[in-house]
Chain A
Amino acid sequence: METRAAAERKVYSVAEFNRRLATYVGRVRDVWVEGEISELRRSPAWGTVFLTLKDTRTGACLSLTMPRRRFDSIEPALTEGERVQANGSLSLYEARGEVSLRAGTLERVGAGDHAAALALLRRTLAAEGLFAPERKRRLPRFPRAVGLLTGVDAAARGDVVAAIATRYPAVRLVIAETRVQGPWAPGAIVTALGRLSACDGVDVVILARGGGSFEDLLPFSDERVVRAIAGCAVPVVSAVGHEQDEPLCDLAADMRAPTPTAAARLVVPDLDELRAGLGRSRQRLGAGTGRALERDRARVERSRERLAVAPRLLLERRRSALDRSAARLQALSPRATLARGYAIVRAGDAVVRDAGTVSAGGLVEIELEQGGLGARVEEVRP
């Protein structure tokens, strides 16, 4: 092909080209386009609502704008994932050379394919018990190694590394960077998760991905990925997208974190807290030993006191035993018998027990309690 001489070319500046292009584009009026709403951006501060219409079969996209008041008047309010037919005219944003459909009308066409499919999958997996609270596993308190699954060069990587390095560096971090977007992402995520959880020492895995559009996060709601998380050999912490996105991986994970940094905080203990705890343990150690010493000192003290009073106690015990013996002796003495009215009869030195041992007219001595009698025997009755 021959190149025309530079002088003969008709050359446009970009601005001029875009201006001319705009007039062509502007001729496309009153067209109807059907697709699924994604990346809906609406702010009360803006007069225009921006969204992307997406072809669910091929993924082809078209930018669409609509005056905010018109958009807000649609009842019930449209949300991402819904299927709509849009009517309007094409316009070119000259500063960027981008075409968008300026819609005057947006009509809902049933439920969006993706959103409906996702809702169905969610119900199915929930019915299977995949999201049940009793399935959730506790995270290890001191993981030997932490697995991190994230997109290549993702900010999430830096966040997790920084959070762990400052919080608890006594750990190994095994990182698997993989595709997290596009049709191959689910398979890649499942593979990476399997490899990570099989790594020696990996006791917990963080699944991290920053925010993105509904479509960007779809791999994290893929059935294969969700099942792989539920069946993972070690607990999984999910930090995917923003809180309101709630991809299905969040429901299957053992714990969800709002950000990769928060996920890192969940999986490792805090170094400062650990140090403080160790300090407290040491104090209690000293206090416990001190108490044991104090207790034994008190015990020795008590023993000494008891030792001091022991001889006196012994003496008192002996004395009272002696008193008791004296009383018993007293009870056995003949004096006591005489006191009861008995008398002792003696003939000479011998006590008279048998009438036959004395004879009539003999002398006997009778001993009474008080005094005694000298008597002569009048009669003997043997």
Chain B
Amino acid sequence: MSEPSFEELQRELDEVVARLERGDVPLDEALALWRRGEELHRACVERLDRAELEIEDLRLGDGSGRDSEPPGG
């Protein structure tokens, strides 16, 4: 299974918070939710901390060669 995306982690965190805030969960479950929420929060922050922009140039190979015109300005 691949690593969950940041979006998935954040969505689950939102769900955990919403469930806790509805206030109808038994205490044991509330504590379990809190632990899960803390875990998700940490995972999200870590994900943002180690994020680095990855740049990839697409080789078009359309035969036209590189554009020699001046860049638009």
**Which A residues contact B (CB, under 8 angstroms)?**
141-142, 144, 151-156, 161, 164-165, 168-182, 184, 188, 191-192, 195-196, 199, 209-212, 216, 271, 274-275, 278, 281-282, 284-289, 291-293, 295-296
Contacts and interface: CB of A to CB of B under 8 A. Distances in A.
A291 B19 CA distance: 12
Contacts of A288: 17, 20-21, 23, 30, 33-34
12 contacts: A168-B51, A172-B54, A176-B58, A179-B64, A181-B67, A199-B58, A271-B48, A274-B48, A281-B17, A285-B34, A287-B21, A288-B34
Given A151-B72, A195-B58, A285 B52 contact: no
Interface of B: 5-7, 10, 13-14, 16-17, 20-21, 23, 25, 27, 30-31, 33-34, 37-38, 41, 44-45, 47-48, 51-58, 60, 62, 64, 66-69, 71-73
A363 to B, nearest CB: 83
A285 B51 contact: no
Closest 9 CB pairs of A and B: A288-B20, A170-B51, A210-B72, A292-B30, A152-B67, A289-B34, A285-B37, A142-B7, A169-B53
Contacts of B41: 278, 281-282, 285
Contact of A296 (B27, B38, B48, B73): B27
Contact of A151 (B6, B20, B45, B71): B71
B72 A209 contact: yes
A216 B30 CA distance: 62
A164 B53 contact: yes
Given A170-B47, A292-B20, A161 B53 contact: yes
